[in-house]
Chain A
């Protein structure tokens, strides 16, 4: 009985710790980074200050990422004109696989390659996908771990409210 209780406490502890890792970034200044993009250009987060930026960490081996990316691309093409930017950060070791997947999915948002995992460490990424929404002042406002159908509605609400600020 005691063992069961200990197990339950441990599981809750692990969940609490993982949600803390992601949640404790909210309200903090988004750590700056620069990465090479799929177009060959280097992109730096701080150069998008003044825009609402969504940073989406993804990998080719992640099923939910594949589901989520076309929906994020829709958001990007709809709100790009009014100051919304989306940076997809791929964490695969081999960027060619990521390039193949981008082509397959036909997404247009910029994809950056974090093969050295420096940026994902900076953002405490311990789940896949992780979506971070940064406001116009460069503050992390929302962090979402994982993806479930319907999350895109939540993203839409959050992006629209941040664009109005």
Chain B
């Protein structure tokens, strides 16, 4: 009986001592855990900041790419459809009694850029008031020499070859030139003029 009592007391005391030891150890573990949690939080915040700055970088890069893309698009547009550098050439004929049109050749700054043969039907359409756009070119701003050579049958059905020349000052904006064939009744000869449309 006494033995049992002693064992019980000893067990109770041991239990108390374990609890007290545990109470001594517990505050130390909590500190470490808190410190670890703080560290983890700080690391997370750092990584979040890094991610944010990376995101900002990506965004700015994306914007730059978009800007570059827009610039490229505009450049491409300007290259493909440079309205400002456009020069269009039109052939017209008034009366046409003294001249039967066969072909028109156009030279810009000494280089042949167009040579158009007119069939009888096309020439007839011109005599009836039609206007034919014979060539489109893109020219830089500045002065350019334009030469138009007209061949066909002149008075008395003789072979006829005449040229007309002009110097144009290409500014900003498109330019339209008319290669006009008219009759000079006094001289009974055809006349070839290059006109600039305003």
Cβ-based interface call for A34 (8 A): yes
Question: Contact residue range for chain A?
Answer: under 10
A105 CB, nearest partner CB in chain B, Å: 26
Least CB separation from A34: chain B residue = B117
Known: A42-B102, A42-B103. A35 touches B119 (CB 8 A): no
Whose C-beta in chain A lies nearest to the C-beta of B116? A34
Interface string of B105-120 (1 = CB under 8 A from A): 0000000000011111
Q: Which residues of B contact A43 (CB under 8 A)?
A: 119
Dominant secondary structure at the B interface: mixed
Instruction: Determine the chain A residues whose CB is within 8 A of the CB of B119 once the complex forms.
Output: 34, 41-44, 47
Choose among A42, A44, A47 the residue with the greatest number of B CB atoms under 10 Å from its CB. Answer: A42
Decide if B178 is an interface residue (CB 8 Å cutoff): no
Q: Is A141 in the interface zone, CB < 8 Å from B?
A: no
Q: Which residues of B contact A42 (CB under 8 A)?
A: 102-103, 117-120
Contact present for A36 and B117 (CB under 8 Å): yes
Q: Please report which residues of chain A, range 7-36, place their CB below 8 angstroms from some CB of chain B when the two chains form the complex.
A: 34-36
Cβ–Cβ contact B117 & A35, under 8 A = yes
Most chain B beta-carbon neighbours within 10 Å: one of A34, A35, A41, A43: A34
B121: Cβ under 8 A from any A Cβ: yes
- A118's nearest neighbour on chain B, judged by CB, is B115
Q: Which residues of A contact B122 (CB under 8 A)?
A: 44
CA distance A44 to B119 in the complex (A): 7
Chain B residue with Cβ nearest A43: B119
Tell me the complex Cα distance, A65–B38, Å: 97
Q: Give the distance to chain A from B88, nearest Cβ to Cβ, in Å.
A: 20
Contact in complex: B121, A47 (CB < 8 Å): yes
A41–B102 CA distance with the chains assembled, in angstroms? 8
**Taking the nearest CB of chain A, how far is it from the CB of B142, in angstroms?**
31
For the complex formed, measure the closest distance between the CB of B69 and the CB atoms of chain A, giving whole angstroms: 35
A34 to B116, CA, bound (A): 8
Residues of the A chain whose Cβ atoms lie less than 8 Å from the Cβ of B116? 34
Interface residues of B in 67-105 (CB under 8 A from A): 102-103
Contacts of A34 in B (CB 8 A): 116-119
Residues of chain A within 8 A of B102, CB atoms compared: 42
What 7 A-B pairs have minimum CB-CB distances, sorted nearest first?
Answer: A34-B117, A42-B117, A44-B119, A42-B119, A47-B119, A42-B118, A47-B121
20 A–B contacts, CB within 8 A, in A order: A34-B116, A34-B117, A34-B118, A34-B119, A35-B117, A36-B117, A41-B119, A41-B120, A42-B102, A42-B103, A42-B117, A42-B118, A42-B119, A42-B120, A43-B119, A44-B117, A44-B119, A44-B122, A47-B119, A47-B121
